Amino acid sequence: MSVTTIGDGLVALALSGGIVSYLFIKHATRKQRMEIIHQERMAALEKGIPLPEFPLDLMEEKPHAPDVPVLPVLGIILSTLSIGTMVVLYLTMPPTSHAWWISPLPFVFMGAGLILFHVLGMVRR
């Protein structure tokens, strides 16, 4: 049985408002830029300067390559947090539950894998 409160509703409302506001601002910025480009083109046409055609999706963002240091940083964060969690679990759990201290080990391997992937990628270059 789940119980929701007014605070939960306010959080959902705030998140929805934030998303709608972001989309509105993005649309308004694109519209304003297109109007400026249109005004510049009209002024150039009045002066007789020929202009090349431009694509309508001028504001569309081009995908860019991911930043290089993201993988090793994420790998270090995953590994250190997981190893720290393993140590804390081993030291604080009762002796009957000591088998659970190893549960964050997959995250250690993921972090080590990301670091290794980055290192091997740098060696290949």
- Spell out the domain ranges in the chain: 1-61, 70-124
What pLDDT is attached to residue 59? Answer: 52
Specify whether the CB–CB gap between 108 and 83 falls below 8 A.
Answer: yes
Amino acid at 114: L
| The residue count for the chain | 125
What pLDDT is attached to residue 83? Answer: 95
What pLDDT is attached to residue 29? Answer: 93
Query: Rounded to an integer, what distance in angstroms lies between the CA atom of residue 27 and that of residue 35?
Result: 12
**Entry pTM:** 0.46
What pLDDT is attached to residue 8? Answer: 86
pLDDT lower than 70: segments of the chain? 1, 52-62, 64-68, 125
Specify whether the CB–CB gap between 75 and 111 falls below 8 A.
Answer: yes
Tokens found for residue 125: 């270059």
What pLDDT is attached to residue 58? Answer: 55
